[in-house]
Structures are given as structure tokens and as C-alpha cells.
Amino acid sequence: MVASRALPAISVLGLGYVGAISAACFASRGHRVVGVDIDPRKLDLLQRGIAPVIEAGLGELVHEAVASGLLSVTDSATDAVLDSDVSLVCVATPSLAGGGLSTAFLEAVTAQIGAALRVKDGWHTVVYRSTMLPGTCEGVLIPLLEKLSGKHVGVDFGVCVNPEFLREGTSVRDFFEPPKTVVGHTEDRSAALVMSLYEGVPGPRFLVPLGVAEMAKYVDNCFHALKVDFANEIGAICTALGLESHEVMDVFLSDTKLNLSAAYLRPGFAFGGSCLPKDVRALTHTARRHDVEVPVLAHILASNEAHLRRALDTVLALGKRKVGMFGLSFKSGTDDLRESPMVELAERLIGKGCDVLIHDENVALSRLTGTNKAHIDERLPHLAELLTEDRATVADHGEVLVVAAKDEATLSAVEHAPVGTIVLDLLHVPRLRETLAGGQYLGLSW
């Protein structure tokens, strides 16, 4: 065990699953840890060196930490805060009946910490490990701490959000080998202190705003839930078709370029093209024919449609009639207009009375053939009147510019648009966000 001298003393408030593991693991790293809980049973077990929850490897860590004197427990939050440098809040945030999140335990513990800070001399850092919705820390907890302590965050004490990424059954291993370490912060002193708690721990590290840290845990868990449902729905369809689902998924999982990767996981515009919409429709139709319920797959296109409407509503809300569009194909580098969300957006804008002018360096009416030409003839029969090869003409025309292309010539044209032109970026182009004057730039989902 590492010597505890010079390491920050830690109080852990809430000795349930996350709290017990955090307390034992930090003690094993040499920190003096004081655990706090109102449950006398948990306190009694820990005082005797027995883990209050069943978890691989936790029992040994608790026994060693208590025997070494590095882990002690109390029912007094005040005593624990006064006797430590950092307080980790690890209380539960259960669901309410309507699906919302209860912050009752968070607020109760925060009130106790605030009262303790009122009588404590010197700097103290409060770290929230509990899972909470973005805005909870800044909107609820920090004001409560300031009110009850009579002190100010960033001046008299620090606050960080440090979500945990522990899986039941492997949580001790996950603590020492986490997928990442995330610290939401408001000032550098506390951020550095909390990051120092994980010195030597592998994995990427992120110093982010409080809300980003709060959101990180929800993104992870919702994506994990989505993956479980996706795999199970594919399995159900495979079974109905007489296919071995695990053999199918072995093929799927082998692709780490697109399937198991960062591909398609950056917010942008809606998908389109000749493959994705068609294949989602075909597979969900097959599921219906075999009486297989696939609610996740069945709502993919509805979700895509909602995102397209988001872009449309953003433009219309500006109250501008003249719209310039850069990009028309379903993605850059192609002239494929089949089921392009940009074609759909243009059609709807025109239907709402907007005066639309479009540039796409890859789209020329003379080259359109086959189903590509048939699709555009059906959706935008007057495309010849809408298209221009001159980017500057589009930039000068639009009171609003919708950007779905990021070649140098297009970005330059957008940046040289008349003063007051509003730019809606559908691709998340950092350059536009940085160079355009305040109020000119709009991101679709960022």
C-alpha cells in the first residue's frame, strides 16, 4: 500500500455500491478515507472490515484498508468534512414515478456539506460522483452550498463533477482501469486536485464544463441500452428467418472501421442516400411480416425525420425568406440525390415560401441519369432554376445560408457573405464557428 502522507484526505458521503467501492479503492491507493452513511448496518460492517456490498475483490480491499487505519466510518457528515480535504458525494439518485430524477438525497447531503463548510477554515473541494442530469450541479447544488455555507464557489471552496464508470461485477477492476476519467470543473485549483486523485490510472482524461461531465454518464448508459436492444432485435429477426444470430453478429462485430468505431457518432445532419433508408425500411417490413416487434429499428426513420424537421424549423424560426444552400447530394463527394435530406429540406423550404438558391459542385443536371434523375424530377422539378455554379451568388442571395459542404471554396464564400447573413452549419465545421461574428453562426445540434 502507498504511504498516505501528503495525499489528500477524502470523505465519502454515501456508502452504497459506488461509495463503498470508491472509499475502499482510494484507501488502497494510500488516501486516508472517512466514509459517511446514515445506515448503522453499513457502518457496523465497515467498522469490522466487512464490505457492505458483494463485489469481486472488494472484501479484501475493505479488510486491508480498515486494518491499516486508512478507512474509517462515521454517521456525522460534519465531522467527515472537517476532517478531510475532498468530499465525494456518492448518494443514490432514484427515478421518480414519471421518469424524472430525484435529487432529494443529493440535496440532503449537500445541505450537510454546506453547513459544515460554514464552520470550516481553509479550502475544501466537493466532488459529485452521483449520476445527475445536466444543470443539477450549477442550478441546484452549488446555490445550496453557497446559501448554507455563506461562502462562494471558486473563492472559498471548489466543486467538481466526477462521474463513475463502474460496472457491477467488475467495478474494482474498472476503478483501477477505467475507460476514461472525466472531471467537470469551474476553476483550475479543484480540477487539478481531483485529477491528482487518479494519478497513474490509465485511460484518457477529460477536463470539461460541469454540464458535459453530468451528461457523459447518460450518453454512455443510453448507448449501452441501445446496443443491447439493437442486438436483441436483430437476434429476434434472425430467429424468425431461421438464421443463427450469433453467427450474423460475429460478421457485424468484425468490422471495427464502421460498426464498432467512432464512425457515424458525431452529431450532424440527417442520413439519406440509396442504402440506409431503403434497408431500414426493408428489414423492419420483414420483421412485421414475421410478427416480430422491433421498436428500436422501427423508429430509426422517425428519428431521422425529426432531425430533418429540426433543421427546417431552425431556418423558418429566423423569419428570413431568402435561403442559400451549399450541398444538395446526400453526402459530400457524390452526386447521388436519392433520398437526400438536403433535397427534402430544399423542397420543404420552397413549400413554405422561401426563395432558395443552391450550389453543389458535384451536381450538374446534364449528368443526372436513371433513378437519380427520376428522383430529382419528382422532388424538385424546377431544380435548373435553383442551381447555380457560382458560390458567391448563393452567398450573396441568402439571408440564411445552410451549409452542408466544407470544401475550401465553399467555406471562403460563406465567410465572405454580406454582414448580417446567418449561417446554419449542418456539418459541425469548427472554422465557421470560430470565424463568423457572434449571432451569425448557428449549429444544428451543437
Is residue 437 left, alpha or beta, with left meaning phi > 0 and alpha meaning psi from -120 to 50?
A: beta
Location of C-alpha cell 457528515: 77
Q: In what order do the strands lie in the sheet with 400-403?
A: 355-359, 322-326, 400-403, 422-425, 441-443
Place of cell 421518469: 99
Distance of alpha carbon 88 from alpha carbon 161, whole angstroms: 9
Neighbouring CB atoms inside 10 A of 443's CB total 17
Beta strand pairing call for 71-74 and 355-359: unpaired
HSE of 57 in the Cβ direction (CA atoms, 13 Å)?
14
Residue with cell 479488510: 63
Which is catalytic among the residues 137, 222, 238, 275?
Answer: 275
Question: What cell does 395 get?
Answer: 452567398
For residue 218, which phi and psi values (nearest 5 degrees)?
A: -70, -40
Please indicate whether residue 275 is annotated as part of the active site: yes
What phi and psi values does residue 422 have, to the nearest 5 degrees? -100, 135
Catalytic amino acids?
Answer: 275
